[in-house]
Amino acid sequence: MALSFASPNSQSRILSVGAYRPSRIIPNSEIVDRIDSSDEWIRERSGIESRRFAGPDESVISMALAASEQAISRSGLSVSDIDAVIVATITYPFQTPSAATELIMKLGNPKAAAFDISAACAGFCYGVGMAADLIRGGTAHNVLVVGVEKLSDFTDPDDRGTAFIFADGAGAVVIGKSESAGIGPMIWGSDAESRDAILMTPSWIDLKAPGSVGWPDISMQGQTVFRWAVYQMAPVALKALEVAGLTPETLAAFVPHQANMRIIDAMAKSMKLPDTVAIARDVRVSGNTSAASVPIAMDALLTERPDLHGKSALIIGFGAGLVYAAQAIELPPAPNKAPKK
């Protein structure tokens, strides 16, 4: 007997975005002494002038909750309208249960489907692609996608290669049904041959062993990651535009993972983006927040350029694995114009 079920929804789009930035601002001057560096060196190498570090009272969940509540409020929906939650993070300090299940309890919607994904700096874009497919397939109606990190817990302040890069924060979007396409096909994949380029070591098993070798911190082969991001990710970004029927000339905004300013600028140049394209460069004041960087940068760009609400954009995440994901989207409408259910 053939299966019988409701016809899937045809399209989906981002209804809203929210963000949370910890209150503590860390200028380069607080970083340089321990890594024998200078403000000028950090700015030249990364474009970062400051970053945000969460305090003892700011956790992965509290930051995710604040960003989520803002996104839901802006969407025109209520918490009970959210039937699935995806959290992208590598810094939730528990293997299980998931951050997503703790988040839905805090939100007051404990019956929603909820799960975490671990794709580092590509995690948010993975989540957007999954949410779009869940909605198009009829499995979910409204999905909350959250990127959140407290990387200060897993960064060695004495590591010259990473101490000035990573930071904390959270961003969230609500994705729902749409009469027209608002999220393009996801171009995603891995280059696992370079898996060792970014690591968080030692393992929990090693940490448990007698004579522990220390806390798990992030390490990175900077030049390897830079070359991969600049030369391999631009073609991925252009492919995401192509499959969505867009070109660099028809794009309104580019919101890449906020790895560092040199990578962002090199990608834009390689893609031949015209000057008319608004480029998110939030890394200058927020640092690299891994899975949270794309939604935080999206929120910042829309705050600076409210005329971009509802316009076309390209988002791309790339990082540890090495893994990547990109898709063309319509930026969410202005909050007071968000669709009502």
Q: Which two tokens stand for residue 312?
A: 């076309």
Q: Determine contact, residues 24/53, Cβ cutoff 8 Å.
A: yes
Cis bond before residue 202 (omega within 30° of 0) = yes
Active site residue 257: yes
Q: Taking the CA of residue 87 as centre, how many other CA atoms within 13 Å lie in the half-sphere pointing to its CB?
A: 27
- Identify the helix (H) or strand (E) that includes residue 116: strand 113-117
74 vs 80: CA distance, rounded Å:
15
Classify residue 183 by its DSSP letter: B
- Nearest CA among 338, 276, 340, 341 for reference residue 14: 338
End-to-end CA distance of the chain: 35
From the candidates 9, 109, 121, 141, give the one annotated as an active-site residue: 121
H helix count then E strand count, the chain: 9, 14
From the candidates 28, 125, 257, 260, give the one annotated as an active-site residue: 257
| All residues at 6 or more sequence positions from 240 whose CB lies less than 8 Å from its CB, including other chains | 184, 185, 186, 187, 314, 316, 326, 327, 328
Active-site residue numbers?
Answer: 121, 257, 288
